[in-house]
Amino acid sequence: MNVDVFSWFDDVQAAMEADGSLLKPWAKILPQQLHNLFNEKVHGDQQRWLDALENLPAIDNITTDLTQDRIELSSDSISEET
């Protein structure tokens, strides 16, 4: 199975690759790790998860914060209807 579900990850990847990011070394190998995970190891619910991911609403102007011990994504355009 060849699945490209990582277009939503571009902003996170860019933040990881930014100068001074402690995640910069991982950013170099993460795309291949994700590709291997989603394309070589098929498990029972993978297609259901991929379908759910594909059906998430499009959200504009997402900001990322990688300065904490967690990844935080936010957008002013998120509402309860989204």
**Residue 1 belongs to some domain of the structure:** no
* Model-wide pTM > 0.85: no
| Number of domains making up the chain | 1
The residue with greater pLDDT, 79 or 31, is 31
**Residue 27 belongs to some domain of the structure:** yes
**Residue 54 belongs to some domain of the structure:** yes
Is 38 within 8 Å of 55 (Cβ atoms)? no
pLDDT for residue 2 = 43
pLDDT for residue 20 = 93
**Residue 79 belongs to some domain of the structure:** no
**Residue 57 belongs to some domain of the structure:** yes
**Residue 80 belongs to some domain of the structure:** no
How do residues 19-68 score in pLDDT, each as one tens digit?
A: 999 999 999 998 888 878 777 656 677 788 888 988 888 888 888 888 88
Look at residues 57, 76, 73 and name the one whose alpha carbon lies nearest to residue 15: 73
Domain that holds residue 68: 7-74
64 DSSP 8-state letter: E
Q: Is the pLDDT of residue 3 over 60?
A: no
Q: Is the pLDDT of residue 1 over 60?
A: no
